[in-house]
Chain A
Amino acid sequence: MTGSPTWQAVIGLEVHAQLRTQTKIFCGCAVRFGSPANTDVCPVCLGLPGALPVLNAAAVQMAVRTGLALGCTIQAVSVFSRKNYFYPDLPKGYQISQGDQPICLGGQLQIGRGDHAKSARIERIHLEEDAGKSLHGVGPGGQTGVDLNRAGTPLLEIVGKPDLSTPQEAAEYVEELRAILVHLGVCDGNLEQGSLRCDANVSVHRPGEPLGIRCEIKNMNSYRNIRDAVAYEIERQTEVLVHGGVIVQQTRLWNPDQGRTEPMRSKENANDYRYFPEPDLMPLRVQAAEIALARQALPELPSEIRQRLQGDYGLSEGVARWLVEEPQRVRGYERQLALGGAADLGASELPSMFANFLMSQVNAAWVRSQRPWADVDAALDTLWTLGQQWREGQLSNKMLAQVLTQAFTSLNSLGDSLKTAQAAAGAVVSDVQALREAVATVIGNFPKEVERYRGGQVQIAGFFVGQVMRVLGGKGDAKRIGMLVHEALTQ
């Protein structure tokens, strides 16, 4: 996938996170998604003549929290700068950002699992304002419109060192960074909506030789895009170099439909941004006491939570990772464990069973339903009971799937719908006499298979269980059927 093994990729990521402040970074306008165009605006974020920026303290606090969580050094003094360029969605003709004196320096992010674990260094984190959005084709004659609701939304740019070497690592880096940001409560982490955006700097070289010329890849709004785009770019650059070509430093856009990266217009690569200190804002000072307070107030971080879940409850790495992905998910899970009242959860299989149940059965139904996770969260108590009944065989796989599908597609509260659906599904058939009859019918119907089983192909026992289940309309007690099938076949 990554071309000739003699070529090695060097990848560094720049991640932009929209901060979840109530108001914009330099004015009092609301930060929210989905308002009608140009309604969350004021003279400041419109860049009207005479308007001036005033820094939002909440954005600074979020930058400090993030810096501390990533092991950065918080700078006592940092400086805002103007980044000058013309674009219709940039009202002032410059973006207020931080140049050579950002708020956080250094830091690292742990990625990978097991043997692939590695520490990727963070170069810097800085605060800046987001631009507006160009909406193409919205005018009566198909003209481009500009929506400035997003202009002035606080952004944190997290610049990683080029420490990554595979597309998988790039995706894992963003996944882990996202988990940290959402657990800190500083970003909602929505790649699709663009509240978290990622650009990748990719180059290839032969080990021992100087680093290659890099290209910057933009427009990757999912983990899959990140993996695919970086993989494509590595392949592309390797091809060029293998054939003796030269890489041109440029910005390229990932085109997910074509599955390739394409160069942006070269003009947009030739900017001299003429950074200079923003004279409308004083240098930003962060007191040591504020930093100490923020450090104390840091929540348990994703890696710590995963470790605790694995250690305390014996969860697998994958399940722990899935739970911790969303703070609400893991909080609800732990709350339910406490409510579920297993006296000694450490020694019990319940926590692990419940986590697996959520990640496999419940998650599948939830993803299809497009409901918010909050609905699941509110129904955890019912799901807990349902999970145990399923595990104990009081609910067959088919019945469970039916219950979940019905409940998730209902318009009522998930908890109530689960109960209704379960009642409608009725009880599992566990009456031994009824089951024996069903087993006998199936064995009678499939003499060849019986022969094969008796001839040593014991792995086809599952086939018989499935057939019995079919006879019973999917409502059989799977455990008992298994035992009865074995009993009948070995007679």
Chain B
Amino acid sequence: MADEFSGAITTWDASTIARAVGEGVCTAEAVTAAHLQRIAAIDPQVQAFIHVDTSRALAAAQAIDARRARGEKLGPLAGVPVAVKDQIAVAGLPQTAASKILQGYIAPYDATAVALLRAADAVVIGKTNQDEFGMGSSTENSAWGPTHNPWDLQRIPGGSSGGSAAAVAAALAPIALGTDTGGSIRQPAALCGVSGLKPTYGRVSRYGAIAFASSLDQIGPMARSPAELALVLQVLAGLDPRDATSEQGPALASGPLIAADLQGVRLGVPVQWRGVREGQDPGVAAQVQATLVQLATAGAKIVEVDVPLLDASVACYYVVATAEASANLARYDGIRFGRRAAWTAQATVDELYASSRAQGFGAEVQRRILLGTYALSSGYYDAFYKKASQVRRLLTAQLHAALAQCDALVGPTSPQCAWPLGARTQEPMAMYLMDIFTISANLAGLPALSLPVLPHPTSGLPIGLQLLGAPWAEWRILSIAKAISDLQPGPQRWPTAVEAP
């Protein structure tokens, strides 16, 4: 199997790197150095990273090599570089969630997900760009400037975890962490041509991830194949005593991911998703349809399911998510950490809050705080927050019922491919509608992933297919995703707008 370790190190996937480092084929330091070099060369065009932690990444890699030299057995991600979304805490590194209001804040502790990655001997190489506090679908709402799509540098990478998606796509890191509140892992994965998984709510600890909407947020992996997602999920999953909403859940399989036998697979297509016309790129719809035909030919059963409340999901989501965000973002007041507005002795503390928050938060974040505050206000609570919570419960029941009839719901991840930078920044509603396929998984707490399928027939841009599973059924949808990947020759492997690794 000497061929396994041929080609540039930056083209290796995580399991290959872990094996190479574990068996002494190469050092963790060499792997880290190779990725840091590629970041130095490529990232000025992509701008996936907000912060690259060169010295400590090399030191961590050297420590892993030293442990191997002492004869210690290394973890399942030995020497694997990992890019971490800025939303997630890494001890000693800035954690700004791409917001000016957290300028200067250094996280004093590791998020549980990061600690688990380190315990598996992964190497954190840096923090990636995103939409501010996870609010956006394009990574343009970043206080530190946009990230560029490695397939076309004039286009957005998707969001909010756009930096992580672009880093994995451009071979700046084999794996990355994202957070997903309404599609923030899956949609940028789709637009950058990589795989991304939002686990079941509670499967992965949220401790250390800056909360956007606590009942919707999940941390999840982004990688270049479903098998890689599975490898990382095995490391991340489990009950965390620091997160009261985390659960042990039914165990994941051990060992590598094996493709599902498509003969026995039933895939449900919600009629409501088929009915989406507004903002839907026909090329995306056509390639998703072509993939379904391939799957049917390979023996999968494609069935229609009816989930009426999917039509209400965007409205429901933007009430629940903004309401929770309005409270979650209250702590960013410029008093204890982060950026404080200039303070004159005459100003009251309320005025200091107001000016710090007005200067520190971007326009989209302010819009959502206002929406959420309104939805919770005395006299409006019942009509907005309470009603949305009821819709959410009913939608969840409808999704559970649909998933009782099939292994997964299937459809496009995003109605469109990556759009040009700046094209939608003045139309928040059009931007919100881009989430139409992804947000129901968050409202119902279900696992969902995106994997790249046939590229767009005219632009050649990546298209993602979404699989949405029953609670705790990550392994099932991952194994189906692997079967689909195996079935298709696959889109072009490396992005065309940057130098190939």
Contacts of A86 in B (CB 8 A): 330, 333, 350, 353
Tell me the smallest distance from the CB of B90 to a CB of chain A, in Å: 10
- List the 7 closest A-B pairs by CB distance, nearest first: A93-B330, A279-B214, A279-B215, A274-B376, A50-B208, A49-B210, A272-B378
Q: Provide the bound-state CA to CA distance between A46 and B337, in Å.
A: 10
Number of residue pairs spanning A and B whose beta carbons lie under 8 angstroms apart: 99
A51 on the B face (CB < 8 A): yes
Contact indicator A84/B376 (Cβ below 8 Å): yes
Q: Which of A64-86 contact B (CB under 8 A)?
A: 82, 84, 86
Known: A49-B332, A274-B378, A282-B244. 4 other contacts (CB 8 A): A49-B89, A91-B336, A92-B331, A276-B376
User: Beyond A50-B208, A50-B211, A92-B330, is A280–B349 a contact (Cβ under 8 Å)?
Assistant: no
Nearest residue (CB) in A for B374 is: A274
Contacts of B241 in A (CB 8 A): 54
Q: Provide the bound-state CA to CA distance between A282 and B385, in Å.
A: 18
Q: Provide the bound-state CA to CA distance between A94 and B323, in Å.
A: 13
Q: Provide the bound-state CA to CA distance between A88 and B102, in Å.
A: 17
Nearest residue (CB) in A for B241 is: A54
Nearest residue (CB) in B for A83 is: B327
Contacts of A92 in B (CB 8 A): 330-331
Contact indicator B89/A50 (Cβ below 8 Å): yes
Q: Mark B299-337, 1 if CB is under 8 A from A, else 0.
A: 000000000000000000000000110110111110111
User: Beyond A50-B207, A50-B211, A282-B245, is A276–B95 a contact (Cβ under 8 Å)?
Assistant: no
Residues of B participating in the A interface, judged by any CB pair closer than 8 Å: 88-89, 95, 97, 102, 105, 107-109, 111, 206-211, 213-215, 241-245, 323-324, 326-327, 329-333, 335-337, 349-350, 353, 373, 376-378, 381, 385
A48 on the B face (CB < 8 A): yes
Contact indicator B324/A88 (Cβ below 8 Å): no
Q: Mark A87-115, 1 if CB is under 8 A from B, else 0.
A: 01001111000000000000000000000
Partner of B105, one of A49, A54, A275: A49
Partner of A47, one of B244, B331, B377, B378: B331
Tell me the smallest distance from the CB of B51 to a CB of chain A, in Å: 15
A401 on the B face (CB < 8 A): no
Q: Provide the bound-state CA to CA distance between A280 and B377, in Å.
A: 20
Q: Provide the bound-state CA to CA distance between A36 and B156, in Å.
A: 50
Contact indicator B244/A55 (Cβ below 8 Å): yes
Q: Provide the bound-state CA to CA distance between A47 and B330, in Å.
A: 10
Contact indicator B331/A93 (Cβ below 8 Å): yes
Q: List 8 A-B contacts (CB under 8 A).
A: A47-B331, A50-B207, A51-B208, A52-B243, A92-B330, A93-B333, A276-B324, A276-B376
User: Beyond A49-B97, A50-B209, A279-B215, is A274–B373 a contact (Cβ under 8 Å)?
Assistant: yes
Contact indicator B88/A50 (Cβ below 8 Å): yes
Contact indicator A274/B377 (Cβ below 8 Å): yes
Contact indicator B210/A52 (Cβ below 8 Å): no
Q: Provide the bound-state CA to CA distance between A288 and B202, in Å.
A: 27
Contacts of A256 in B (CB 8 A): none
Contact indicator B95/A50 (Cβ below 8 Å): yes
A43 on the B face (CB < 8 A): yes
Contact indicator B95/A88 (Cβ below 8 Å): no
User: Beyond A54-B241, A282-B244, is A49–B331 a contact (Cβ under 8 Å)?
Assistant: yes
User: Beyond A93-B333, A94-B330, A274-B377, is A52–B242 a contact (Cβ under 8 Å)?
Assistant: yes
Partner of A272, one of B102, B242, B377: B377
Contact indicator A49/B95 (Cβ below 8 Å): yes
Contact indicator B337/A48 (Cβ below 8 Å): yes
